[in-house]
Amino acid sequence: MSEEANKTASPLAPETLQERVDKAYIAKGYTLLNGGTDNILMIQGEKNETTADILMTFDGVKEMVDQLEPDTQPKEEKND
């Protein structure tokens, strides 16, 4: 990350995560590997002309989305 990006990211990431953020690869694309029982999302990242792939199940992606999605429904409607 550039120095300017580090200054922006610092308030967003706790200090304990800053080193991981600095070493992280930037996502460049994804592939859906449908089939079987797992249904996998493969995310490709690149840094310094090196690439890496991360595999996640759709259930894992859904769990992340559920945690990040703002709570927009009143509690009584959620139970339906």
DSSP-assigned states of every residue in 1-34:
--HHHHHHHTTTS-HHHHHHHHHPPEEEEEEEE-
Write the pLDDT tens digit of every residue in 4-48.
Answer: 555 555 566 687 788 888 889 999 999 998 877 778 999 999 999
Burial 9-39 (b: 16+ CB within 10 A, else e): eeeeeeeeeeeeeeeebeeeeeeeeeeeeee
Q: Where do the structural domains in the chain lie, given as residue ranges?
A: 25-71
pLDDT at 17: 87
pLDDT at 76: 58
pLDDT at 34: 83
